[in-house]
Structure 1
């Protein structure tokens, strides 16, 4: 662990903690590494979602009723 890491307590369900410990042993990694990777991936997915929303911010809104009507129209028309 580097000097730049920050220690913080987290509370896990016992089964989750056991699963992480087993995964850490199987992969020769620490529980901290596994948790950091999982959090990093989740934050990256959130950033992608926010970017996608930002790209579409100027698109016109479509009401549920309009969308429903469009879905009811057969594709061959």
Structure 2
């Protein structure tokens, strides 16, 4: 048993999503382009609290390799 809650595995990592961005707004520093909103919290948490289901618009960022 790891001690993590059942919902831990359902959590979406916004930092790994291509729709996530950091805003210039100090009051609302995190944003989601897919849903079109900014928030104090991570967008995936707002979506989960609002809808009751994990974010369904998550798209893994493509990592660009080095040309070296």
Which range, TM-score by smaller chain? under 0.3
Tell me which protein shows more strand as a share of its residues. 2
Tell me which protein shows more helix as a share of its residues. 1
Structure with greater contact order relative to length (CA < 8 Å, sep ≥ 6): 2
TM-score, length-normalised on structure 2?
0.23
TM-score, length-normalised on structure 1?
0.22
